Amino acid sequence: MRSDLMKKGLEKAPHRSLFKAMGFTDEEIRRPMVGIANSANEIIPGHIHLDKIVEAVKAGVRMAGGTPIEFCTIGVCDGIAMNHEGMKYSLASRELIADSVEVMATAHPFDALVLVPNCDKIVPGMLMAAMRLNLPSLVISGGPMLAGKFEEREVDLIGVFEGVGRVARGEWTAAQLKDLEECACPGCGSCAGMFTANSMNCLSEALGLALPGNGTIPAVMAARIRLAKMAGTKIMELWKKNIRARDIATLNAFKNAMAVDMALGCSTNTVLHLPAIAHEAKIDLNLDLFNTMSNKTPHLCFLSPAGPHHLQDLDAAGGVPAVIAELAKIGEIDKTVMTATGKNVGQNLKGVKVKDHRVIRSIHDPYHKEGGLAILRGNLAPDGAVVKQSAVAPEMMVNEGTAIVFESEEETMEAILKGKVKPGHIVVVRYEGPKGGPGMREMLSPTSAIVGMGLDKDVALITDGRFSGGSRGAAIGHVSPEAAEGGLIALVKNGDRISINIPKKKLILLVSEEEIKKRKKNWKPPKPKIKFGYAARYAQMVTSAGTGAVFKDFF
């Protein structure tokens, strides 16, 4: 056992003494030791209940003959960090979380790991650590929040963000927004739509590193506690069979996850996180592979923010296994890859079928023939940009407009709410990339304000920052190279014409090469926005969004 490094032999008597100081018995010390990374805190609705999930995992580990040992990680709530300096630290927290799990599981050599995240960067951060450590590992999330009820319809957090724009243009009163605020988020769990947290929890399942149901069973259901107990027992099975994280997360497993990504219409942030997780597994996920998978994978689910359904609906319709089963009919799933169940995908799919074709469409009747995401290239984004094409209005799929340029999210938000952004504008928000932000802030407030102002079918937004999974409309992010690195987005001027052609995967600044050369001569790198602490160090180490915004490799 790996844990023998800290507990076995004459020279480990002091170590055992320290375990006994915490109440461990000789029998508990003798057993395999399972590290449980718990990201519970009192600032994230999706994490407020993780203590109960962890207790269930511990019960499962003990039932299967192991000794569970809990440790903690940090976690940022993207919704609360949104639209102020706090969002500069959200993506950056992913690397800290990965590092902290690595530190804890190396300083204390556990035999296996159970990772208990739920929201946004915490899920990919823990998965990155699992790839790096390559121990028997699995993920059990806290589960999605239920949708709220407002004026006889289902709502979620995104409606509140969009409500700000509705109040600004006079469509709603402040009292109506207050009523929505009270009921949009009815309890614990990751926010109810196919936003980043739920996207990554579903893709953890599709990747094979989480048990079936991980992405969709609501947080408040007893089935979530039962799943957590099963996770505790399954990790012991993986340990006994020596099935490690990279045995599961192979290239074909990542392709399975990408196919599910496209079918579900997941967050654009998956284009950051899947390559970052693969990077830790020594697998190269080129951005063009996303287009390859999108071109041959139908979009089967129309979930919030793009559509009317929520995660509870997807769960009732059969969840991620039903989506995988549907995609397997057209050969888009490798059934031979191993999963956290101890069985391969094909074995997991026995008896699985779609229970509600209104929520999970048949492969013969998809919402769109192509998947939910698209990678755009052109002179404005030679290293790639990403758009959630399933959430773009048909009339905005091909668009030429006039640039209106802003140097920060705050400037953009103020201009939108004051009515300075007009139909036909293409809003350009720059110096918000991984290095320039720093931290690549999400632009949920501006995109939601555009929708709330009724401009989502008339205005596009382009940024070297990124978007929440809750963003919808013609929102194009991750423009690479970013402005802070001298990318062409840094040279755009008010009044320039920009061409967007999503079907052809093109993003082009319609300015002559001669003019671009003149502008380049006058461009100077900006001074760092943050000059101390973690964010300053992050800006020095982070790479492009086109490579997953991972840290530079120094060796």
The residue count of the chain comes to 555
What does residue 67 show for φ and ψ, rounded to 5 degrees? -115, 110
- CB hemisphere CA count around 516 (13 angstroms): 13
Kindly tell me the burial class for residue 99, based on how many C-beta atoms sit within 10 Å of its own C-beta (0-12, 13-18, 19 or more).
middle
Query: In what order do the strands lie in the sheet containing 385-387?
Result: 374-376, 385-387, 475-477, 460-463, 425-429, 398-406, 497-501, 506-509
Alpha-carbon gap, residue 202 to 356, rounded angstroms = 18
Q: Is 297 exposed, middle or buried (0-12, 13-18, 19+ CB in 10 A)?
A: buried
CB 84 within 8 A of CB 78: no
| Alpha-carbon 110 to chain mean position | 27
Beta strands of 415-458 (E only): which ranges? 425-429
Catalytic one of 93, 445, 448, 468 = 468
Cis peptide before 305 (omega within 30 of 0): yes
Preceding amide of 481 cis, omega within 30: yes
Instruction: Check whether the bond before 438 is cis (ω within 30° of 0).
Output: yes
Q: How far apart are CA 312 and CA 143, in angstroms?
A: 10
Element (H, E) at 507: strand 506-509
DSSP per-residue string spanning 235-290:
HHHHHHHT--HHHHS-HHHHHHHHHHHHHHT--TTHHHHHHHHHHHTT----HHHH
| Token code pair at residue 271 | 């284009």
- Asked if 468 is an active-site residue, the reply is yes
Question: Annotated catalytic sites, by residue?
Answer: 468
